[in-house]
A and B are shown apart, each in its own frame.
Chain A
């Protein structure tokens, strides 16, 4: 089975885009990540990751309309592609399989 490699940060960004739905662009993704994870996220790394995900065809993008508050500059909105969804599902499935494979005693030991 062909594995798509998704880094941790990539996975999080991809997920966030999925969460934000139609309003996903670099700014909202950064802010959402900060709020959800509580860690300070560099804007440039989010931007670069979005670009890389698009190159891998996990995301698609299109330019939005002109906006006044940005000095007329347009936003680039991202959406998760079918391939992206599949990748996310795969990652989730692998995790679940791993969780499921965890023996019950160990779970208890870990206090879960």
Chain B
């Protein structure tokens, strides 16, 4: 019966259940037995009973927790046996030593990649930990405001004084609020004088920012005539003597007493430049202007810091304080909207466009993080490529090991231990490389970082990261090599086939795509900087110095100072102005002119200057005349720049009248736009008027026929006479101007650093691959030579493959880099065009470097005597 019928069908679910949950040691025969029993029951008891009995038996036979018993017939292979690990390491060392060239390329390339990743990691850590050293960093904010002059909202961090009291009195969300004013002042104790920048703050500031007091306490600023010094400044002023209760003279006019010393703010704090703190009341008492503004809602000049209570939310509080000013009587036309900018975002999210936070430095943190990952990735590619390329050489070894009885797991651990050993060496080397490169990197990135030798997280992440790299980089060779079949390998019929090299080629293309993209990016960044630098600035930067009028002695001696300076012969002209030539201090919307549309309310930059200003800075008049003492009416004359003329839409600007702050001025001249602010942006409309009182900066044009040091010495003599209370400090206009490119130049330098590294690592890998290929084709080359191939032929044959890969990489990187760089350039209103020659030059350069790298190996192989290569074996 059984044999005649097809297999009887017991309930399928019971069979499945049995399959999954029965004792694994007996499941096979139990399943079979039950099938037979089912057939037997069908015959003897009928199908209903048979199914029932089958199911019951299955349930009784379930042993869900049973484990498979291991056979004791064979000894077990311990994958982690001591002897084998010793052997793995021994073989790994021997392999490293046998192939010194490959080892050097592997370890060198990887360690450079890891060192770069380490430096970038340190940099990111530094950026991300910015301002985190302040205890209340997550509850402190600075009050900012958006103001609308024309269409767009601009952002300002300066506030009117009365706002602080309103926040304190009417908004219970605030735990404390502190006014602050940053200023550079001269501190003198005995014969020591320093110009330092410090903040005048309300006492609540100390607790809010968690200033770390070394001497004195948080009530040290309660007395008006007191000062807190940073530890470094206290050392500089008083040496090792205790500074407490010593007297200091500020700006040669205010006497204050040192009531405390605090630990310098760390380098990655917004307040790192603050080297002293004075009471807010001291500032009010000594600055008549500020005192007058104590109740003025439209004098935006001061910073306000605030700490929220626990549980209060920044956004909700911002919404509450937004319309404080607009809801008051006679709201100003610029519609201020106050909001809180949290301390955690000060550094990395500092950019706003039209009222929306658009990120800021955080973009660079990401950008460099990605670049670092790429560089490391390139190094890993080298490692994988060289290992797989050499797999054919080690195929026999794998075969013999397997024939002797090695398990696949053992081979995998052997290859992993080799790659981990290489990575370990690379890691050690990279720590030293990173330590050695750190001073240079600090200089480029403008930071004060150090290797975190004592930080366990640094080592933990470093070692964890090395393990990861080792496993990723070693996985391909380990799994690929250990899968070889010993029979095929040992018989000699083994060949990796035509397609084995394809992943390798893809990886090489990726490497060069990244490298070429980075190079193109670097070139475009430098072109952009050069483009902006070549923009006409509208005045003569060279030989122009600026001196801040920091003590009262410098005022009211204009003519005497000027004639003394001119008499030295070191100075050709001197003038005074409200601000430095490389900054634009303030503007006004209180300007009207004939034909002004009533809906227009533009911000026009105002500059107070003396008569000789134009001659000193060397501005270029396009129409009309310069200020002159001959015309007594020039006290109500105005010079406009071209942007202002364009804005005011004057057909004939000369002799037109412009009213500023209620006073009418006659336009007597027009000057070419002078770049005082951002060299990548259009010049703001500005006007210049004569004002001998509202000045703060002395401009001096040095005589061109005298050396700068000689001229400066003579100028210094004059200033010592006029300004004995201050050290002689000056700034060169051209140096200040170049600082405007600091950010861009820093990116450019870092990008070029990475681009060079990327191409170096890529070429290192290519060098290794080329030597491998040349070695592999030794016999072929020998035969070709015997048949009459020339060295040039062979060189072409060996180089062709690699050149093709690099050409493909260039073609891929052109659209990628074009896309990213045109996005980057869009940020700048004045930007260079991306011209085709950049791509051409980069492509040719990459090809040239590739040829150089490959040719060395190719020519070496092609020159070998064929007798030698054919006789071997």
- Chain A residues packing against B (C-beta within 8 Å): 25-27, 30-31, 42-45, 47, 51, 63, 67, 69-71, 73-76
Residues of chain A with a CB closer than 8 A to B29's CB: 25-26, 63, 73-76
**Which of B28, B33, B53, B60 has a CB less than 8 Å from the CB of A26?**
B33
CB-nearest residue of chain A relative to B39? A69
Specify which of B36, B53, B57, B61 is in contact with A70 (CB 8 Å cutoff): B36
What B residues does A73 contact at CB under 8 A? 28-29, 31-32, 35
User: CA A25 – CA B37 in complex, angstroms?
Assistant: 12
List chain B residues, Cβ under 8 A from A75. Answer: 29, 32-33
Shortest CB-to-CB span from B37 to chain A, Å, is: 5
Determine whether the beta carbon of A43 is less than 8 Å from that of B34.
Answer: yes
Give A28's nearest chain B residue, CB to CB.
Answer: B36
A67 x B37 contact (CB < 8 A): no
Which B residues are in CB contact (< 8 Å) with A71?
7, 31-32, 35
10 A-B residue pairs with Cβ-Cβ distance under 8 Å, sorted by A, are A25-B33, A27-B33, A42-B57, A43-B34, A43-B53, A63-B28, A70-B32, A70-B33, A71-B7, A73-B31
Q: A69-B2, A69-B3, A69-B7 are in contact. Are A43 and B37 (CB under 8 A)?
A: yes
**Cβ-neighbour of A43 out of B2, B28, B32, B33 (below 8 A):** B33
Least distance between B51 CB and chain A CB atoms (Å): 14
Complex CA gap A4/B26 in Å reads 26
Assembly CA distance A25 to B35 (angstroms): 13
B31: chain A residues within 8 A (beta carbon): 70-71, 73
Q: Is the CB of B35 within 8 A of A42?
A: no
Interface of B is mostly: helix
The 8 closest A-B pairs by CB, nearest first: A73-B32, A70-B32, A44-B60, A76-B29, A27-B36, A26-B33, A44-B57, A43-B57
Q: How far is the CB of A9 from chain B (nearest CB, A)?
A: 15
Within 8 Å of chain A (Cβ to Cβ): is B30? yes
Closest residue on chain B to residue A51 by CB atoms? B26
For A76, the chain B residues whose CB sits under 8 A away are 26, 29
Main secondary structure on chain A at its contact with chain B? Answer: mixed
Q: Given A69-B2, A71-B7, A75-B29: A30 and B57 within 8 A (CB)?
A: no
Q: Output the residue of B2, B26, B35, B36 with the most chain A CB within 10 A.
A: B36
Q: B40 within 8 Å of A by Cβ?
A: yes
User: A69's contact among B28, B36, B57, B60, by CB below 8 Å, is which?
Assistant: B36
Given A67-B32, A71-B7, A74-B28, does the pair A31, B40 have CB atoms closer than 8 Å? yes
CA distance A69 to B33 in the complex (A): 11
Question: Chain B's nearest CB lies how many Å from the CB of A75?
Answer: 6
Q: What chain A residues lie within 8 Å of B36 (beta carbons)?
A: 27, 69-70
Separation in Å of the B501 CB from the closest CB of chain A? Answer: 43
CB distance from B643 to the nearest CB of A (A): 92
In the assembly, what is the distance between CA of A105 and CA of B617, in Å? 147
Q: How far is the CA of A3 from the CA of B812 in the complex (A)?
A: 86
How far is it, in angstroms, between the C-alpha of A63 and the C-alpha of B60 when the chains are bound?
23
Q: What is the chain B residue whose CB lies nearest that of A34? A: B44
Q: Inside 8 A of B37's CB, which chain A residues have their CB?
A: 27, 30, 43
User: Which residues on B sit within 8 Å (CB–CB) of A63?
Assistant: 28-29
Cα–Cα distance between A26 and B35 once the two chains are bound (Å) = 12
Closest-by-CB residue of B relative to A26 is: B33
A62 to chain B, nearest CB (A): 11
Nearest A residue to B61 via CB reads A44
On whether the beta carbons of B3 and A27 are closer than 8 Å, the reply is no
For B53, give the chain A residue with the smallest CB separation. Answer: A43
Instruction: Using A63-B29, A73-B31 as known contacts, list a sample of 19 further A-B pairs with CB atoms less than 8 Å apart, ordered by residue number in A.
Output: A26-B29, A27-B33, A27-B36, A27-B40, A31-B40, A43-B37, A47-B30, A47-B33, A47-B61, A63-B28, A69-B3, A69-B35, A70-B33, A70-B35, A70-B36, A71-B7, A71-B35, A73-B28, A76-B29
- In the bound assembly, the distance between CA atoms of A41 and B31 in angstroms comes to 18
Closest residue of chain B to A29 (Cβ to Cβ) is B33
Distance between B709 CB and nearest chain A CB, rounded to angstroms:
100
Distance in angstroms from B55 CB to nearest chain A CB is: 11
CA distance A88 to B718 in the complex (A): 127
The minimal Cβ–Cβ distance linking A60 to chain B, given in whole angstroms, is 14
